Amino acid sequence: MIYKRSSALFAQAEKVIPGGVNSPVRAFKGVGGMPVFVKEAKGAYLYDEDGNRLIDYINSWGPMILGHAYKPVVNAVIEKAKKGTSFGMPTEIETQIAELAVSMVPNIDKIRFVNSGTEACMSAVRLARGFTGKDKIIKFAGCYHGHSDSFLIQAGSGASTFGTPNSPGVTQGTAKDTLLANYNDIENVKQLIEANKGAIASIIIEPVAGNMGCVPPKNDFLKELRDLCDAHDILLVFDEVMTGFRLAKGGAQELYNIKADIVCFGKVIGGGLPVGAFAARNEIMNYLAPIGPVYQAGTLSGNPLAMAAGLAMLNELNNDVEIFNRLADKTKYLHEGIARVLNENNIVHTINRVGSMISVHFDESEVVDFETATKGNNDTFKKFFHGMLNQGVYIAPSAFETWFITDALTYADLDFTIQAVNVVAKTL
Ligand SMILES: *Cc1c(COP(=O)(O)O)cnc(C)c1O
């Protein structure tokens, strides 16, 4: 494939945008080479600036669950735009999407809309701290909750005592309040709670991790977290920015039948526009300004275009009773096909999958946490990524990302993809 125009556009972008991109993973640093510039997209396909067609398995990192340029969503945005794009005053559509979200997701009474998943998680943790009157949080290594300071923390030396900043600009003061635990390791969480008795406001988790590849929670892990939180007066925050409105109507709470205290949303809930949200039962949400003491605000929060896109998207998902089964079936088919051709080509691998989230790791051991996720062979992944791109299949340019299956993918697209894996596997 030819990437002449993409390369030229990237060179131009690098002069005026740091690294040429507005979000780091887009720059292909994890796989080498130059990023592909998109011109337009429709359904399951991206069309780049050089005229190549790519089957898309990123889907804007999750939001485009029904495919690109989905008509009802696009039309809703166009119609809203004609009536003004932002007012900084309440609008009816905010209540409409809030009512729908509250009806779809178990265990929430109220929802507050923000502009990104980052904002949702940042605000959820502030609310948890304000509500409980405690400072520390536990997060899991390999889980991503956006780029706010409290979450840009890595495990400190020793057995995860307290965190240290993993980006300059994050202070030690902030880092000391974030404790790092290993995903799927309940004993580790118990130890942290013991060592910080009475100090932990919340445990925040991706109920299915999607930012170290796809890593499902083990059998009773989420239930055990729930029990620990109940026993120690800790709020359980489910970061469902990726899993919300994707794994089921009610997200991972519904799929695993576990109640979270605060739930964060992003990605699908905005239908491709910048939207995040956090939600909880009344008791907790009423702790927010203007009725409660915890401050949180946003000039463009609940923006009419974003709400129109989100409402159209949620309506589609709410009205299509088969959607989540259909997505899961397609993902299973892809999983089985890829596993078959990788086995035929003797490529060592592990595939993880939950619903419409799937990831391929080039290592034979089970991938259950950040440590096992990083064991995969990154050189193999790089070759795999570029090979697939060359075959016209676009997967995330990093070994630590989940692939997202959209309803726009046909079984012919999936067969094409499996065949592409077969071709690429011979070069690995
Ligand atoms: C993408 C993501 C975020 C951050 O959302 P942004 O909209 O990129 O700020 C937070 N948590 C999870 C689980 C995510 O996947």
pLDDT of residue 277: 98
Residues 95 and 190 in one domain: yes
Ligand 1 pocket test target in 118, 246, 264 with most atoms within 8 Å of CB: 118
Handedness of CA 84, 88, 92, 96 (dihedral sign): positive
User: Which residues, 6 or more positions from 173, have their beta carbon under 8 angstroms from its beta carbon?
Assistant: none
Residues 395 and 413 in one domain: yes
Q: Which of 319, 342, 362 is the last residue of a domain?
A: 319
pLDDT of residue 377: 86
The pLDDT tens digits of the residues spanning 201-235 come to 999 999 999 999 999 999 999 999 999 999 999 99
Determine the atom of ligand 1 nearest the C-alpha atom of 146: 4
pTM: 0.97
Supply the CATH number for residue 24's domain: 3.90.1150.10
Residues 24 and 85 in one domain: no
Supply the CATH number for residue 83's domain: 3.40.640.10
| Terminal Cα distance for the chain, rounded | 19
pLDDT of residue 237: 98
Residues 270 and 211 in one domain: yes
pLDDT of residue 190: 98
Q: Per residue of the chain (428 residues), what is the pLDDT tens digit?
A: 889 999 999 999 999 999 999 999 999 998 999 999 999 999 999 999 999 999 999 999 999 999 999 999 999 999 999 999 999 999 999 999 999 999 999 999 999 999 999 999 999 999 999 999 999 999 999 999 999 999 999 876 544 456 788 899 999 999 999 999 999 999 999 999 999 999 999 999 999 999 999 999 999 999 999 999 999 999 999 999 999 999 999 999 999 999 999 999 999 999 999 999 999 999 999 999 999 999 999 999 999 999 999 999 999 999 998 999 999 999 999 999 999 999 999 999 999 999 999 999 999 899 999 999 998 888 999 999 999 999 999 999 998 999 999 999 999 999 999 999 999 999 99
Q: Which of 319, 337, 368 is the last residue of a domain?
A: 319
pLDDT of residue 376: 86
Q: Ligand 1: which residue has its CA nearest to atom 6?
A: 117
Give dist(CA 26, CA 397) in Å, integer.
Answer: 7
Residues 259 and 304 in one domain: yes
Residues 267 and 119 in one domain: yes
3-class state of residue 204 by DSSP = strand
In this structure, which amino acid lies at residue 358? Answer: I
Give dist(CA 255, CA 278) in Å, integer.
Answer: 19
Q: Which of 278, 298, 319 is the last residue of a domain?
A: 319
Residues 265 and 328 in one domain: no
Q: How far is the CA of 210 from the centre of ligand 1 (A)?
A: 10
Residue 44 domain boundaries: 4-69+322-425
233-263 as b/e, with b when 16 or more CB fall inside 10 Å? ebbbbbbbbbbbbbbbbbbbbbbbebbbbbb
Residues 400 and 262 in one domain: no
Q: Classify residue 231 as exposed, middle or buried by CB count within 10 Å of its CB (0-12, 13-18, 19+).
A: exposed
Residues 221 and 160 in one domain: yes
Q: How far is the CA of 342 from the centre of ligand 1 (A)?
A: 31
Q: Domain total for the chain?
A: 2
Residues 19 and 101 in one domain: no
The pLDDT tens digits of the residues spanning 76-130 come to 999 999 999 999 999 999 999 999 999 999 999 999 999 999 999 999 999 999 9
Residues having CB within 6 Å of any atom of ligand 1:
116-118, 121, 144-146, 206, 210-211, 239, 241-242, 266, 276
Residues 107 and 147 in one domain: yes
Q: Ligand 1: which residue has its CA nearest to atom 5?
A: 117
pLDDT of residue 94: 98
Q: Give 419's Cβ-side CA count (13 Å radius).
A: 9
Element (H, E) at 128: helix 117-132
pLDDT of residue 157: 54
Residues 277 and 388 in one domain: no
